[in-house]
């Protein structure tokens, strides 16, 4: 079977490509390299044994996507391609709607075309969508930990752009089912993704970097002067925000598990996480333990819109598919990130 991975040169997408290759799948990775890394693809090619095709293209190019789906007889699409900075989405909302929502519309049209193209071998049968907890907005306390039944009320364009994608997929699938197409899809909503491939082949590299663990490690490596904590007076045990940190390999394992479980005509929604939250201070302490290094921490005021606690209730996917995150110890999560950063302190950058 051939699987298309959109955003395949990005952090999460590249880990999906690696897992699929290790499982013996053929993969078509599509990425416009705006924030993805060609170097990640080059590393993946070393273990691909000829089973990886990389196309540097925009998912919003519908005709090209339709051609790729047909040419490679793609049966499953894992759709990760998206811009994902909340603050940036507030200052550039149309860019997010075009890149996230608009490109997803083009992808759905390409999937529809694959059903009508005789060269596509029947066309795409499954779509696994990388959604987000941002679609829930700021849930009231009774919805913490967050279940799938929590109302979806985004508070920023990023969250809306992803929720609109879910709504389009729902309506698109309903039409497919009425037309008796064997099409199924899933939306996986997750929280803070962390860590790197345990072997160290690929890792996390964002520009700009905003994720807590990499920022801490950059301070350890002397690339930043200090880490800033945004708020120390929240109603949490240590006063700092609590979030759900799921290891990237566990996250991808969930995607593969859902991909295999989808039956024709099904749709599934799952929240992915470890099921309990870790505070900013707990992550900082973990980084200090793992690296053996102390580093400068600056305590600052709260950022607008940061809820005290956000973490998943993953019981639904556990009950349905027997999936649970395996790497839940923060030191183990940080250790895989530190392994990558020690070997590649500048990530994929050559300089």
* Residues labelled as active-site residues: 158
Helix axes 157-178, 103-116, angle to 10 degrees: 20
User: Largest Cα–Cα distance of the chain, in whole Å?
Assistant: 61
Cβ-contact 267, 186 below 8 angstroms: yes
Dihedral angle over CA of 70, 71, 75, 81, nearest 10: -90
- Which residue, among 338, 347, 148, 327, has the nearest Cα to 253 in the 3D structure? 327
List of residues 6+ apart from 48 with CB closer than 8 A: 21, 27
Beta-strand relationship, 242-243 and 278-279 = antiparallel
| Residues in contact with 213: Cβ distance below 8 Å, sequence separation at least 6, in sequence order | 194, 195, 245, 283, 287, 333, 334, 337
Q: Where are the alpha helices (DSSP H) in 72-195?
A: 86-91, 93-96, 103-116, 157-178
According to DSSP, residue 70 is labeled H
Determine what percent of the chain falls in helix, strand and coil, rounding each to the nearest 5.
40, 15, 40
């Amino acid at each position: 079977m051939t699987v298309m991975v959109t955003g395949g040169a990005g952090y999460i997408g590249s880990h999906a490509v690696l897992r699929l290759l290790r499982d013996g799948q053929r993969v078509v990775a599509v990425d416009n390299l705006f924030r993805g890394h060609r170097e990640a693809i080059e590393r993946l090619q070393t273990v691909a044994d000829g089973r990886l095709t990389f196309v540097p293209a925009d998912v919003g190019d519908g005709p090209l996507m339709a051609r790729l789906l047909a040419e490679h007889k793609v049966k499953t699409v894992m759709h990760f391609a998206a811009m994902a900075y909340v603050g940036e989405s507030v200052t550039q909302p149309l860019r997010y709607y075009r890149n996230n929502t608009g490109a997803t519309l083009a992808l759905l049209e390409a999937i529809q075309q694959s059903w009508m193209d005789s060269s596509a071998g029947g066309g795409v049968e499954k779509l696994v969508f990388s959604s987000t907890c941002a679609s829930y907005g700021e849930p009231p306390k009774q919805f913490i930990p967050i279940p799938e039944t929590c109302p979806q009320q985004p508070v920023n364009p990023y969250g809306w752009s992803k929720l609109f994608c879910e709504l389009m997929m729902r309506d698109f699938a309903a039409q497919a089912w009425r037309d008796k197409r064997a099409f199924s899809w899933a939306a996986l909503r997750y929280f803070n993704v962390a860590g790197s491939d345990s072997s160290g082949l690929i890792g996390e590299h964002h520009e700009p970097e905003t994720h807590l663990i990499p920022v801490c490690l950059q301070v350890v490596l002397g690339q930043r002067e200090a880490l800033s904590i945004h708020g120390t007076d929240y109603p949490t045990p240590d006063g700092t925000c609590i979030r759900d940190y799921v290891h990237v390999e566990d996250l991808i394992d969930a995607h593969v598990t859902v991909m295999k479980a989808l039956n024709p005509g099904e749709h599934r929604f799952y929240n992915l996480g470890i099921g309990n939250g870790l505070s900013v201070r707990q992550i900082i302490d973990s980084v200090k333990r793992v690296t053996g290094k102390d580093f400068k921490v600056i305590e600052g005021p709260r950022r607008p819109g940061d809820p005290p606690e956000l973490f998943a209730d993953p019981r639904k996917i556990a009950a349905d598919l027997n999936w649970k995150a395996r790497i839940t110890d923060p030191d183990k999560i940080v250790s895989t990130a530190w392994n990558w950063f020690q070997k590649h302190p500048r990530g994929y950058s050559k300089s």
